[in-house]
Amino acid sequence: MPVEHELFFANQRLLQTLAGLCADGRLSHALLLEGENGLGKRRLARIIAAMALCKERPGGCFRCDSCKNILADNHPDVEIYGGAGGAGSFHIEDIRRLRQHAGILPNQADKRVFILENCENMTTAAQNALLKVLEEPPSYVMFILTAQNRNALLSTILSRVICFHLEELSKEEFARALPQMAPTAAGEVDRLYRASGGNLGLAIQMAGDERVQKQAECAQRLLLALRNRDEMEMLSICAGFERDKEGFLACLGHLRRTLTTAMEGRLRGDSQAEEVLGGLSTARVMEVTDLIDSTILALRRNQNFSLTTTLFCASLNNICN
């Protein structure tokens, strides 16, 4: 098995594609890695940077100093930017600094790589500033953007990046990865796989974090209320997050994941998946996931919490009646 495949647990086909493009010198100068938090965007960005900068082997050797330093965030030609502080926390000042640095020739490698994380948090002004350097980058510059959802980016940016979507881990990949990443959770592979829907980062968090467990439990309660058409229970669950919008967003994320994982199970004829879905038709499940998406978007746009969640519960109830 190639070394990069031991560094990354899932998305093996994507990894192969990237390594192939890199070895042929056909890797685009601007990539976007899209996927939910916990799926490994951060790690994959560093693996790609190592692939692009390694001088030992086209596509990365993952053993030389360059590769090791990149994976440890300690390479002079790889810079990391990002808004980890929520919506609007990736500012134009960051991009101005990036543009200055993009004018400097690489120090050790042939390229300079700029990793831009959490691009969903980039302000419009920052995106417009980034566009200028994406349009006419110096020949030695490469950009790796990460975002939970590509729709948070301007279409003008999207037209200049090649987007790769990260998938959840399969049950087999998950069973192999979890004991390595969280040895104490090794006995809970089945439970954590179900609760996280194959999102390894989330499962590791769940294994040790009560708050995340509560969010996951509330998602299960919401699903039960949905199947029982119990609008009062839905409202009561939402009210419990009145002062914790991020918690509620995470809870909605769990619910969405549970549904999509179960839908994939339904397609395979998995009886456990049918238990989760409790007789909900495929069309209804899709309506529910659309509703979850629009609710997440409304809350991210700072619409009123009580109004949005009341509407959410009423719509959920309608879908199932």
58 vs 138, beta carbon nearer Zn ion? 58
54 vs 225, beta carbon nearer Zn ion? 54
56 vs 242, beta carbon nearer Zn ion? 56
Candidate list 67, 152, 203, 313; residue touching Zn ion; CB under 5 A: 67
Pair 50, 19: CB distance under 8 Å: no
Helix (H, G, I), strand (E, B) or coil at 222: helix
Strands 141-147 and 162-165, sheet pairing: unpaired
154 sits near Zn ion (criterion: CB under 5 A): no
67 vs 276, beta carbon nearer Zn ion? 67
Minimum CB separation from Zn ion for residue 72, in Å? 13
Minimum CB separation from Zn ion for residue 56, in Å? 4
At residue 122, φ and ψ (nearest 5 deg) are -80, 130
64 vs 186, beta carbon nearer Zn ion? 64
100 vs 107, beta carbon nearer Zn ion? 107
User: Could you say which DSSP state residue 90 is in?
Assistant: B
Minimum CB separation from Zn ion for residue 67, in Å? 3
Of 110, 131, 108, 117, the C-alpha closest to 46 is 117
Q: Measured between alpha carbons, how far is 198 from 218 in angstroms, rounded to an integer?
A: 18
- Binding mask 27-66 toward Zn ion (x if CB under 5 A, else -) reads ---------------------------x-x----x--x--
6 sits near Zn ion (criterion: CB under 5 A): no
23 sits near Zn ion (criterion: CB under 5 A): no
Contact partners, residue 201, CB within 8 Å, separation at least 6:
37, 38, 39, 40
Q: Burial level of 176, CB count in 10 A (0-12/13-18/19+)?
A: middle
DSSP for 46-87, please give it. Answer: HHHHHHHH-SSSTT--SSSHHHHHHHTT--TTEEEEE--SST
Of 219, 204, 293, 311, the C-alpha closest to 262 is 219
Minimum CB separation from Zn ion for residue 60, in Å? 5
Minimum CB separation from Zn ion for residue 9, in Å? 20
- Binding mask 214-243 toward Zn ion (x if CB under 5 A, else -) reads ------------------------------
Write out the residues near Zn ion by the rule CB under 5 A: 54, 56, 61, 64, 67
